[in-house]
Structure 1
Amino acid sequence: MKTRAVVLRDVSTARPYSGTRPVEVEELTLGGPREGEVLVRVTAASLCHSDLSVVNGDRVRPLPMALGHEAVGVVQETGPGVRRFSPGDHVALVFVPSCGFCGDCAAGRPALCAQAAAANGSGGLLHGPSLLRDSAGRTVHHQLGVSAFAELTVVAQESLVPIPKDVPFTVASMFGCAVLTGAGAVINTAALRPGQSAVVYGLGGVGLSAVLGARAAGAYPIVAVDPVEEKRALALQLGATHAYAPADALAAIRELTSGGAELAVEAVGSPKVMAECLTAVARGGRVVSVGLPAPDRVLEVPALAFAGEGKSLLGSYMGDAVPRRDIPRFLDLWRAGLMPVEKMHTGTLPLTGINDALEELASGRAIRQVLDTSGALGNEGAEGTEVATAPTGVATASAG
C-alpha cells in the first residue's frame, strides 16, 4: 500500500530556523501488518523536541528515516495473532514497544525493555525489519517503532494503548510522549507526595507536563523556570504557583522553600541546568533528569552533594511509565480538570507544513504543534462517537 510520510535523509548541520528545509513529504510503500502488528491510520501527531534532535543530529538514528513518535490514530487492520485490537479502535502510539518478557519488563520497567531498545536502534519494528520502501525500492527506517508523521503506519501491537473514542485526537496525541515523560517523572520516578515542593526547569511540552504532574500530585509550591516569559505565563495557567526567569530562580526557590525544594525536574537537556537543579534542592532532595543532552556533553557536580548532603540524581526515560496503566489514568486526570493538556496546543498544521513546524519548535516559540496527518481533525467526533468536552473550568484549544 502507499502512504505519504515525512522522511529525513540527511542530518541537517544547520538549525532548521536558519532557512534549511531538512525533511520532505514522500510517497512510500508500506508493507501490511505481520504477526503481532497493526495497521493504523494516524489522525494527529505531535511534534516533540526529540524529533528536532534527530533532525539536527543530536540523536543519531539510521537514515533515511520516517519521522514521528507521538501520535494517536484509528486501527485499520490487524495481523495474525493480534487479539487486543480491532478495526475502528482509537489508539495512542507509544515509542517503547515493550516485549513484556525481559527482566526490565518483568520488573515493571517497560520503558527500559532491551528488545525494544534494540528494535528502535535498528530502525525496525519489534517483530521484524522495516516495512517502508521509497520509490526506488530502498529501505526507509522507522523512528522508535512508530513513524507517525504519516497517513498510515504499521506498528507492533505492543506500541499501542487503547483510548476512549470521545477523547479529542489533539488532546490524546500529547499523552504518548510529553505527558508520559513529564508527569511520569514526577509521579513515577520521584513519587512526589502531597505538600512537597517542586521546581521544574525548562517549560517545553515535557517540562509543562511535569508541572501538570506536580499539580496532580498535590505539590506546593510548584516553581516553573524558563527564559521565555510566555512559557512562564502558561506554566502558571497549568498549575505552577510561581514562575521565574533563570537568573532570578535560585534565590526565589530558596526563599519560597526555606532553603531548597524537595524535587527539581530538569527538562532542558543541559548539564549546566542539571548542576543548578542539584543546588536548588534541599539536603535529601531529589533531582530527576528528563532532558536529552547531546551525547558528548559531560556533567560536573560537587561529589559531596550525594553522600554529604543526601541528594539524589535520578534519570527518567519515558517517565518510568507503564503506558497501558498510565495513559488511561492520566486521561482520567484530564477529565477531572487536573491535566489540561489542551492549553499546550499551540497550532495545527497539515503534513506538508512539517518544516514550518520544525522551525517554530527550534525557535522556542511553540509548545506542542499537531500535524493533521489524515485530514481528520476537522471531523473529530465522526464515526458515530461523541467528543468529550473539556472539564469544567478548562479552556479548550482550537483543533485547527
Structure 2
Amino acid sequence: MKAVVFQEPNTPTQFGNVEVEGPKAGEVRVKIAAAGVCHSDLHVMRGEWDVTAPLVMGHEGAGVVTELGDGVTSLAVGDHVVLSWVPPCGECRYCMAGHEARCQKVATLVAPKGVLFDGTSRLSRGDETLHHYLGVSSFAEEAIVPASGAIKVRDDAPLDILAVVGCAVATGVGAVTNTAGVEPGSTVAVIGCGGVGLNIIQGAKLAGAERIVAIDLLPEKTDVAGQFGATDRINASEGDSVEQLFALIPDGVDYAFDAIGRTETTEQSVQMLALGGASVIVGLPPTGAKASFEPLVLAESDQRILGSNYGSVRPSIDIPAIVDRYMDGQIKLEPLISSRRPLSEAQQALDDLQSGGALRTLLIP
C-alpha cells in the first residue's frame, strides 16, 4: 500500500510503498477514507517528542473495516469506524475504572514503542521495520489497529468528515464535558483557535457557558470561533492576553483552556482564573517544557490546574455520541476542514499547518 513515512526530525516525510501484514488476534484492517493532519504530527516532524522511528504517520482518521483478526466479535466487515489513538486495552486498572484515556498499556507500550498490543509492528519497507504512530498510522491507504481502536459509528454519516472526530473533536469537546465538567452559566477562555480550540469552544457552548472568550494571534481564527459559539474575541497580537481578558471579565474566568501548550500560554491560562477557577491544559508542549505558577495564589484562590489527555474520553461511548450530535446539528464539523489533499501531498499539508494557515487538512488516499 501507499503510506507516509517519518524517518527523522526536520526532514521531509517520504511517500511510497509500504508492506502491511494482516490483522492478528484482536485486530482489524481498515481501509482509510480520510485522515486529518494535526499539530501532534508537527511535534513529531520537528523532533519535539520522543518517538520510535521510522514510523507511518497519522493518528486521526476514519474508514471501513475490511478484515477481522481472530477473536474479534465487536465489529463486522463493512462497518464504518472512527479511529481512536487510545485503543483501550480493557484490562488495566484505569480501563477497568472507566478512565480509558489513561490506558496504561497504551501509555507504556503502544504509544512510546510504536507497536500494537503484542509488542510488534504490522508495517515494513523491505527489510526495515516501520512503527505505528499512536496505534493508528492513518496516513496510509490501510491501517491495522486494535479492535478497541476502531469505533463503530452510524453508516449515514459522511466518513471523510468524521475523520476529525477521532482527535480534534473528541479532545476538545471532551476536555470541556469530561475533564473540566463546565457548568451552565460559566465563563470560559480558550487560548488557541485551531482544530482543538474550536472544539473546546463548541463544547463550552454545548455545556451552556455564558461567556466564551476566543484568544488567538490570528484574527481570522477568532472570526471562525464565532461560528462555534465564542461570545468574545481577543487578538493576542495586540497586547497582553491576560490584561485584555480582565478588561472583558474583571473577575476572571471560571475555566481557562490552553489549546496550544506553550509555556507562556499555560501560564496565561492560570493567570486568567477567577476564584475557584480551573486551568485546563489540552495543547501538548515539547518534551521537557516547564511552566510556573504561584502556589500560594492557587491555594488561597481555591483554583485547580487540570491536565486533559484525549479529552478524558471513553472512545466507544463518546465518539458515537459526538457523531450523533453532529448528525443532529448540535456539533459543527465542516467548518473545521480547511482543505482536502491527496495522500501524496501530506508534506504540503504539514507545511500548511506549520505556517498557521490551516485548521484541519484531510488527506484522501
After TM superposition, is the score higher than 0.5?
Answer: yes
Once residues 207 and 329 of structure 2 are traced to their aligned partners in structure 1, the CA distance between those partners, rounded to angstroms, is 13
What's the % identity of the aligned pairs? 38
Indicate yes or no: 2:361 matched with 1:369: yes
Once residues 120 and 294 of structure 1 are traced to their aligned partners in structure 2, the CA distance between those partners, rounded to angstroms, is 16
Where does residue 134 of structure 1 map in the other structure?
Answer: 125
Distance 1:296 1:248, change over 3 A: closer
- In structure 2, the gaps of 5 or more residues are none
**1:66-215 alignment runs, 5 A limit:** 66-117=56-107, 118-135=109-126, 137-215=127-205
Once residues 341 and 214 of structure 1 are traced to their aligned partners in structure 2, the CA distance between those partners, rounded to angstroms, is 15
Q: Deviations over 1:241-284 (max 9, x none)?
A: 11111226434432443411100000111121111111111011
Could you tell me whether the CA contact under 8 Å between 1:75 and 1:89 is conserved in 2? yes
2:276 to 284, 288, 291: 284
Once residues 42 and 218 of structure 1 are traced to their aligned partners in structure 2, the CA distance between those partners, rounded to angstroms, is 35
Indicate yes or no: 2:304 matched with 1:319: no
2:168 is aligned with what amino acid? A
1:253 to 245, 252, 259: 245
Indicate yes or no: 2:227 matched with 1:237: yes
Where does residue 357 of structure 1 map in the other structure?
Answer: 349
CA deviation after TM superposition for structure 1 residue 233, in Å? 0.5
Could you tell me whether the CA contact under 8 Å between 2:275 and 2:303 is conserved in 1? yes
Aligned length: 362
Runs of 4+ in structure 1 over 3 Å off: 255-258
Query: Helix, strand or coil for the counterpart of 2:326?
Result: helix
Query: Helix, strand or coil for the counterpart of 2:18?
Result: strand
Could you tell me whether the CA contact under 8 Å between 1:10 and 1:63 is conserved in 2? yes
Query: Helix, strand or coil for the counterpart of 2:148?
Result: helix
Distance 1:248 1:332, change over 3 A: farther
Query: Helix, strand or coil for the counterpart of 1:181?
Result: helix
Q: TM-score, normalised by structure 2?
A: 0.97
CA deviation after TM superposition for structure 1 residue 142, in Å? 0.5
When the two chains are superposed, the root-mean-square deviation of aligned CA atoms in Å is 1.2
CA deviation after TM superposition for structure 1 residue 337, in Å? 2.2
Q: Deviations over 1:113-149 (max 9, x none)?
A: 11112122111012340011103x2100000110000
Once residues 225 and 48 of structure 1 are traced to their aligned partners in structure 2, the CA distance between those partners, rounded to angstroms, is 19
1:184 is aligned with what amino acid? G
Q: Deviations over 1:355-382 (max 9, x none)?
A: 1101100001100000001xxxxxxxxx
Could you tell me whether the CA contact under 8 Å between 1:263 and 1:286 is conserved in 2? yes
Where does residue 31 of structure 1 map in the other structure?
Answer: 21
Could you tell me whether the CA contact under 8 Å between 1:35 and 1:127 is conserved in 2? no
Could you tell me whether the CA contact under 8 Å between 2:50 and 2:287 is conserved in 1? no
CA deviation after TM superposition for structure 1 residue 97, in Å? 1.1
CA deviation after TM superposition for structure 1 residue 23, in Å? 0.3
Query: Helix, strand or coil for the counterpart of 2:53?
Result: coil
- In structure 1, the gaps of 5 or more residues are 13-20, 374-400
Where does residue 6 of structure 1 map in the other structure?
Answer: 4
Could you tell me whether the CA contact under 8 Å between 1:42 and 1:153 is conserved in 2? yes
CA deviation after TM superposition for structure 1 residue 341, in Å? 1.6
Where does residue 295 of structure 1 map in the other structure?
Answer: 287
Q: Deviations over 1:302-330 (max 9, x none)?
A: 12122111110000000100011111211
2:299 is aligned with what amino acid? A
Query: Helix, strand or coil for the counterpart of 1:173?
Result: helix
Once residues 85 and 53 of structure 1 are traced to their aligned partners in structure 2, the CA distance between those partners, rounded to angstroms, is 33
Distance 1:298 1:248, change over 3 A: closer
1:81 is aligned with what amino acid? G
Q: Deviations over 1:175-232 (max 9, x none)?
A: 1000111111111000001111111001111111101100111111010000011101
Could you tell me whether the CA contact under 8 Å between 2:80 and 2:159 is conserved in 1? no
